[in-house]
Amino acid sequence: MGIRSRWMAVTLCWLLLVPAAGAAARPSVVFLSPDDSVFWTMVAEVMTEAAADLEMDLEVLFDRGRDRFTYQQLAEQVLEREVRPDYLMFMAKENVTAEMLTLASDEGVKVFTFNTDIPAQARELLGMPRESLPNWIGHLVPDNVAAGRQLAVALAEQAAKLGLTQQDTAPDTIALSGTRDSSAAKDRNLGLMQAAQDHRIALRQLSFADWSREVAGDKTRVLLQRYPEVTLVWSASDGMAVGAIAAARDVERQPGKDVVIGGFDWEPEALDAIRRGELTVSLGRHFLGGALALIQLHDYHAGVDFAQGPSTAALKYRFEAATQSNVDRIERVMDPESWQRVDFRQFSRALNQDLADQAPSADQQMDALVSALAETRAAAR
């Protein structure tokens, strides 16, 4: 069954469901996907598998407009429904997060935000989850700042191994970022800047490429010709990194040999490029953030709260690097068959007595998810 067919089936079950007397209603969740890119499609598909295992009614809505205003409009449409969901999940976007949180609170819908840090404007107005808005119950985010730095350092180390830089010399670097209103891009850029300030790299130019492979390719061609001494291309996404690989070839550079390129997202095409040696590293596992958030909502709905108060309602986890040394394992994690085989109920504290008294960190929970996905497919072979 295709992903859209599964979503339709899940939504249909929600509409037809009539709980038995005294039975607890299945939690209903609407996830607002910020776009329908490869990455967000993966996020939604894993969430669909997790929701089915956890007996949650999940509806996924894509923002085809890919704009903060159309994203807010999508939230408004859900919150104007006669029958609203129990929970609303969305990515924290610049300039609209506070409005979306406030509207959901006014309508009595609980919210869980994830994937990007809370924008400064929203933090100033509302604080963090459970501080001023009780209905804003949680937030889950990868450490994008640390990862931006991690990517820069990993690329610099690879350049040194290849002999592209002299000892203690910062390699010349160009960077490809996403959009100017993206919290993830801003945080990854900040980590990049920290690496530059610490003289781990010599940043020649950072260019915004709108998360687009084509735009990234065009800009990389220009930048590599403008700065022929560049040996590192830092990219805030794998899609843009793949565009940079093609552009490097166009200007007669050799990705993985005389120019070192890395990105984010663990996209399948990027993993293929790692196997070929053209992409050095991809930082990922955040595609599992939506599934991990659903596990928190499932347990919260069952009376097992993931947080003890405002100070613990915001969860953070680290990225993991995919390289030639572990690409086989990462490909197992990324395989949709693994998502289907794994039983997401095993991660629920509400459903497993041996986990009930534990309070694992988001990092520990993400480690468990990744390990289970890698081992599930391996065991099935």
Domains in the chain: boundaries = 3-142+286-380, 145-284
Lowest mean pLDDT across 171-175, 225-229, 350-354: 350-354
* CATH fold match for the domains 3-142+286-380 and 145-284: yes
CATH 1.10.760.10 fits 145-284, yes or no: no
What pLDDT, in 10s, does the model give residues 231-253?
999 999 999 999 999 999 999 99
What crossing angle do the helices spanning 68-79 and 97-106 adopt, rounded to 10°?
0
Secondary structure, 3-state, the chain = CCHHHHHHHHHHHHHHCCCCCCCCCCCEEEEEECCCCHHHHHHHHHHHHHHHHHCCEEEEEECCCCCHHHHHHHHHHHHCCCCCCCEEEEECCCCCHHHHHHHHHHCCCEEEEECCCCCHHHHHHHCCCCCCCCCEEEEEEECHHHHHHHHHHHHHHHHHHCCCCCCCCCCEEEEEECCCCCHHHHHHHHHHHHHHHCCCCEEEEEEECCCCHHHHHHHHHHHHHHCCCCCEEEECCHHHHHHHHHHHHHCCCCECCCEEEEEECCCHHHHHHHHHCCCCEEEECHHHHHHHHHHHHHHHHCCCCCCCCHHHCEEEECCEEECCCCHHHHHHHHCHHHHHHCCHHHHCCCCCHHHHCCCCCHHHHHHHHHHHHHHHHHHHC
pLDDT greater than 60 at residue 2: no
- The residue that leads in pLDDT, 364 or 22, is 364
Q: How far apart are CA 274 and CA 324, in angstroms?
A: 6
6 confidence band (pLDDT: 50, 70, 90):
very low
**pLDDT computed for residue 23 by the predictor:** 38
Mean pLDDT of 317-340: 97
| CB distance 137 to 129 below 8 Å | yes
**pLDDT computed for residue 183 by the predictor:** 87
Average pLDDT, the chain: 91
pLDDT greater than 90 at residue 8: no
Count other C-beta atoms under 10 Å from residue 140's C-beta. Answer: 25
1 confidence band (pLDDT: 50, 70, 90):
very low
Q: Is the dihedral of CA 305, 309, 310, 312 positive or negative?
A: negative
pLDDT greater than 80 at residue 266: yes
**pLDDT computed for residue 38 by the predictor:** 87
What pLDDT, in 10s, does the model give residues 30-43?
999 999 988 999 99
What pLDDT, in 10s, does the model give residues 215-227?
999 999 999 999 9
Q: Is the dihedral of CA 94, 96, 99, 101 positive or negative?
A: negative
- The residue among 315, 296, 285 whose CA lies nearest residue 117 is 315
Q: How far apart are CA 246 and CA 225, in angstroms?
A: 14
**pLDDT computed for residue 377 by the predictor:** 56
> Using alpha carbons only, how large is the chain's radius of gyration in Å?
21
- Choosing among 3.40.50.2300, 3.30.200.20, 3.30.230.70, 3.40.366.10, the CATH entry for 3-142+286-380 is 3.40.50.2300
Q: Residue 380 corresponds to which tokens in the numbers above?
A: 């099935």
pLDDT greater than 80 at residue 133: yes
What pLDDT, in 10s, does the model give residues 79-124?
999 999 999 999 999 899 999 999 999 999 999 999 999 999 999 9
Q: How far apart are CA 319 and CA 83, in angstroms?
A: 37
**pLDDT computed for residue 358 by the predictor:** 78
Percent residues over pLDDT 70 in the chain: 92
